[in-house]
Each structure stands twice: as structure tokens, then as C-alpha cells.
Structure 1
Amino acid sequence: MASADQQPEPASGARTAYDPATDSLRFTGEVHLRNIRQLTFGGNNAEAYWSYDGTQLVFQSDWKQINDQGCDQQFVMNADGSDLSSGEKYQLVSTGQGRTTCGYFLPDGRVIYSSTHAASPACPTTAAERTRSYVWDVFATFDIYVANADGTGQELLIGGEGYDAEPTVSPDGKYVIFTSTRSGDLELYRYELASGETIQLTDELGYDGGAFFSPDSKQIVWRASRPTGEDAETYRSLLRQNAVQPGALDLYVANIDGTNKRRVTQLPGANWAPFFHPSGEKILFASNHHTMAEGGREFDLFLIDIASGDLERVTYSGTFDAFPMFSPDGTKLVFASNRRGDRADSRDTNVFVADWVETPTPADRAFTTR
């Protein structure tokens, strides 16, 4: 049960007054979040991203209730949890074959995503299975596709030898940014949708990935590793096995042509899944820097000011909070989490949507959970 000394005013656009007693998914200290709603209910559901009109979300899932294939597939759902026009809650967008990752909407309502299905309809063997260690997959069979939101009209957009994945689209609809191994390392590339022109944006050893555009489409933010010495040799060795070992990751920003690169975070642990604040002056991201002494298993969301480096913690679930994205109008936040309303431990990762409170009230700061 949640309580506060007084109720805050309704969030912008809210139809009814906010009742903290019903906000069971909100944790003490989460002053920027209200009305947290859970949209998936089992398995692993993550990387949920908004449509341009703010009404739908695309996400990846291995939840057996909607996906019995065994590998992550791409789905679309309404952001308010209502039924789609088909009468279903969730619509498969990808082919249902291979493994997919990183779905994102285009301005015309189609979805861009990465998939291995052209190489094989089966789930590919994971790097963790091959190396018997905790590593991330960099499947050389990932290519980038587009499809209608109902799964029809599948087309190859970006392909070729090596890993092509992690695509996101600029708010002005002109560009796709993605990560590729076409140079021999994991680097960022920008693809122009109108012409197909592709330019390389990064060129330093390490994993440059997970990039997003600023609200004005003039900058990018991404997470990167910069291994040296023995770590560099380990990185190269794993990459030859189509894998990377997540560890030290920091955030960087640059202009969309790759110029004016600068490092934003200098924190221990993994700092990743960044997304620009609606102002364009801050970055919201996931990090375990504050739990490294306890093994770094807890990830929370943090907000950092690009210019000053001022850091503010946003989530306090004590579990796993990651993959944040602001809605196009900046009033809502979607993210993935292991949180539960009953506070029980869970290995399920689900998709949540919350109202974003830019300026917390005294009641927001007094909010507590029992």
C-alpha cells in the first residue's frame, strides 16, 4: 500500500486525480514517476519503444503466452493496455523465426528490427552456451528489416556480412543509426532512409552501440566500452566468437555526423540504455554503478545533466530497471523492470509505463511504500 501526506495534483493530461494508494508498482524515492502500469506479465519483455503518435509500443518478448518459438520476437501493443483493432492485446510483427532484437517505429507506422531468420528459422545457439560465461550475443546473421505493424510487408533494409543490429530512428524520420561489425569492430553507422547512404560514426576499439537520437535530431547518445591492455585482447577474442562481455560501459554524445564526441559518464560498472530527456540537456540511463560493492546485480535508472554531470537517481525498485524511453510528448516513460507490486522476487522482466513528473511536488517527495 502506498501513502503520502497529501495527494499531488493530477499529472498533465490525466483524467482523474492521482491516488497514491493505488500506485503499488511505485517505490519510495521515485519522485518523477506516477501511475505505473504493467503491460506484460511473464517471461522476458524488454526494449519497448513508442510509436511516433505515442499510442503504441513495439517490444521484444519470449513470453510463452504469446511466443512459443523460444527466441525473442517483436510485438506491438497499445500503450494504454487496451485491445488492438484485431481484438488481441499483442500483435506479432517479426516472422516468428530466428532471433530478433531492437524493434523501433518508423514515422509511417512500420517497424524496423533486427533478425537472424534469413540464415535459419531456428533459434541460434547463444554465446553463453558456447563460451559457458555471461556474455552478450553479436550474431553475424543479424540483418535489419522493416515490416508493417501487423507483420505483413517484410523487407530487408540493411544487410551484408556481419552483425547489423540495434537500429533506432531519428525523430525527424530522416536517419537510422545502427551498430555493425562491417569494419571488424562494433561501430556506429548512420543510414539515410531517403538515399540509402551509410556513413561510419565511430572508430575506436570497443563496443559502440545502443544509440538514440536527441529530440531535435541533431545529436546522438550511445554506450561504449573502451578496453585496453589485457581487456582489449579479451574483447577481440570474444568478438571473433560473435560475443562481447558486458562490464565497463560509459555514455557518450556526439553530433549526428559523429563530430564533437564527448564522454558523459565516468562511473564504475555498466552505464547503458541511454535516452535523451525531452529538454535534450540530460540523459536518462540504466546503471549498476551504485551496487558494484554488492556485485552490481541491481540496475536503476539515473538522470545526468550533460553539461554539469549532475546525477539524480530515478528508480529505487532494488531489482532491474532499464531501457527507458520518453513518449514523444515527454509526459510518459516506458521502461523494463523486474519489479512487482507485492515486492516478491522475480526473474521475469516486464514492460511498464508511467506518467513522468518533471517537477515533483512535496507529496511526490513524501510518497512511501509499505
Structure 2
Amino acid sequence: MAIPRRGKGPLAPPWASFRHQEPRQARRSSVDPTGVLPYLYVVSSHRPDRTVELAMKTLRLLTFLSVFTLALNVTPSGASPPEPIRFMMSPHVYGDLIAFSYQGDIWIVKRDGTPVRRLTNHIAGDVSPRFSPDGRWIAFTSDRFGNDDVFVVPVEGGEPTQLTFHTTGDNVEGWTRDGQIMFATSRSTSPFFSPLYTVSPEGDLPLPMEMDQAGNAAVSPDGRYLAFNQASLSTPRNAARKGQRGNRTTDIWILDRENGSFTKLTDP
């Protein structure tokens, strides 16, 4: 619609004074020679060439930052770099294999460091892995059901099996020579030490071992000998300290499981 003007003809609209510009196609980005990125079309009445140039510089910068960020997080092979293992706990050796606890799960690795395999994957804490005498199983302690219990898992991997269900804590110590899992338990009338129990990998009824008030047990590599601390009411477990001498120091004993004999190794 024309706007009347006194003494003259119709007033032209303000945009009529600008030179008409056709849409100009932006040149292809140097970082996109394959043409994957879309073309830019800019319509400008002032500096279309300057607008295109600024848009292309911005596009190049964003593309470069994307590629650079991707390069920082991806190795040349395209896989994320492996996380180094630090502070592994409770290592146990069988042949050329080492089982250990790391970040609350049970892992296996060869002596040369490769390959590392995760045997358990649970939000709870899985600790104290121990190989069976034949190397086929690993017993470990887990609190995945509220308190510490004994579990077993095949060395080749699989679903762990719960073996103890007591309301008190059961903690794996090792294996006996005949393939029973030895564990320390809180199911005891002693105010200081708990007896050692054994349970089969099949989950039979746990049975107490030959001695009372034993703790900190360890089995010899051949499974024949059992080393442990022996305590009494006058020598509770919490009285033991490194370098301590006196009548309240706990003793170290050896049990020969073949003939049932006990040997005292220390004389505080």
C-alpha cells in the first residue's frame, strides 16, 4: 500500500533502498571435503560475503573441537584405554594364576599380567578369594545379602553360589586338603575367638573343625598343615600386637590334619 505524501508521489517503503541480493551459497568447509556437513545459505542486505565467512569460521572451530575431544578419549584402535589396576587386595596364587579383590569384585590374572578377567560383578563387597586344591573353584567372602557369607565361583566364570546362610559373619580362610572350604565364623560361645568351620562346595551343612577359639588361620600349599592363633580367656585376640612380649601374647600353632597332632611354634 502506498503512503500518501504532501506534494509528492507515493512514499516508497524503507527497505526499497537496499540492493536486492540473491541467496549466496557458502563455500564448502575445508574440514568437510566429503560434503557430509550441509551447505550454508545466507541472505544479507549488507555484507553477505562477510556473513558467510564468519559462519564458516564458526563451523570449522566447532568441527575441530569435536574431533579433538574424540581423539582424547579414543585410542588408535578405537577402544577406550584400560584402567590401571591399583590397590588390589587379598591376592592368592595357584600355578600361573593370581586371584585378587579389586573395587569390591573378584578378578583373575596371569603372572605376566594378562589377561585380566572379572569373576564377580556386584554392588556388594567380594573379598578374600582362595583357589581350591584342584584349581577349579574360588571361594570368597561376600556381604551381598546383609552380612558376610561364604560363596564359591568356577575359575572359568559363572554365577556365584552361596554356601552359608547364618545370621552372623562367615569369612573364608582357605581350603582343606580334601576340598572343603575353611572359614572363620561368629557362631560361637567364646567372647574372644571363634572356631573354624568347613563347608563343601556343594553347600552341605557346615561342620566345626578340631579346635576351639582359633583364629587368623592359614593353610599350607599342599593343604596338610593349618597354622592358626590359639587364645584363652587370659590371651584374647585383641591383645596381640607386633613385637609384643608377655603372657597376654597369642601363640601360633600348627595342626597336622593327616594325624591330628598339634605343634606350638611360639613361646611368648
TM-score by length of 1: 0.41
Q: Number of paired residues?
A: 177
1:275 partnered with 2:219 = yes
Q: Which residue of 2 aligns with 1:219?
A: 180
> Is contact 2:188-2:195 (8 Å) kept?
no
> Is contact 2:196-2:212 (8 Å) kept?
no
> Aligned runs of 1:139-154 on 2, under 5 Å?
142-154=104-116
Secondary structure class of the residue paired with 2:235:
helix
* Structure of greater Rg: 2
Tell me: CA distance 1:227–1:249, structure 2 relative to 1, closer, same or farther (3 Å). closer
Tell me: CA distance 1:110–1:283, structure 2 relative to 1, closer, same or farther (3 Å). closer
> Aligned runs of 1:61-140 on 2, under 5 Å?
95=84, 97=86, 99-107=87-95, 109-116=96-103
Secondary structure class of the residue paired with 1:158:
coil
TM-score by length of 2: 0.55
| 120, 123, 138: which one aligns with 1:161 | 123
1:284 partnered with 2:227 = yes
| 239, 242, 258: which one aligns with 1:296 | 239
User: What is the aligned-residue RMSD (CA, Å)?
Assistant: 3.3
Distance 1:182 1:276 in 2: 29
Tell me: CA distance 1:295–1:221, structure 2 relative to 1, closer, same or farther (3 Å). closer
- Structure 1 letter corresponding to 2:130: T
| 110, 132, 144: which one aligns with 1:170 | 132
Deviation of 1:306 after TM superposition, in Å, equals 5.9
Q: Which residue of 2 aligns with 1:257?
A: 202
Deviation of 1:110 after TM superposition, in Å, equals 2.7
Deviation of 1:257 after TM superposition, in Å, equals 1.9
Deviation of 1:223 after TM superposition, in Å, equals 1.2
Deviation of 1:214 after TM superposition, in Å, equals 2.4
Distance 1:272 1:259 in 2: 24
Secondary structure class of the residue paired with 2:174:
strand
Deviation of 1:152 after TM superposition, in Å, equals 4.2
Tell me: CA distance 1:183–1:148, structure 2 relative to 1, closer, same or farther (3 Å). same
> Is contact 1:110-1:149 (8 Å) kept?
yes
Distance 2:237 2:127 in 1: 32
Deviation of 1:96 after TM superposition, in Å, equals 5.5
- Structure 2 letter corresponding to 1:249: S
Distance 1:302 1:294 in 2: 14
Distance 2:130 2:222 in 1: 17
Q: Which residue of 1 aligns with 2:163?
A: 201
Output one character per residue of 1:187-231: Cα deviation in whole Å (capped at 9) or x when no partner. Answer: 001101235142111111222113322234x22212111278xx9
Secondary structure class of the residue paired with 1:271:
strand
| 252, 265, 268: which one aligns with 1:314 | 265
Deviation of 1:146 after TM superposition, in Å, equals 1.9
| Larger mean Cα displacement after TM superposition, 248-257 or 150-159 | 150-159
Distance 1:166 1:310 in 2: 28
Tell me: CA distance 1:295–1:206, structure 2 relative to 1, closer, same or farther (3 Å). closer
Tell me: CA distance 1:197–1:160, structure 2 relative to 1, closer, same or farther (3 Å). closer
Secondary structure class of the residue paired with 1:204:
coil
Q: Which residue of 1 aligns with 2:17?
A: none
Distance 1:307 1:261 in 2: 20
Deviation of 1:113 after TM superposition, in Å, equals 0.4
In structure 2, stretches of 5+ residues that fail to align are: 1-82, 241-248
Secondary structure class of the residue paired with 1:113:
strand
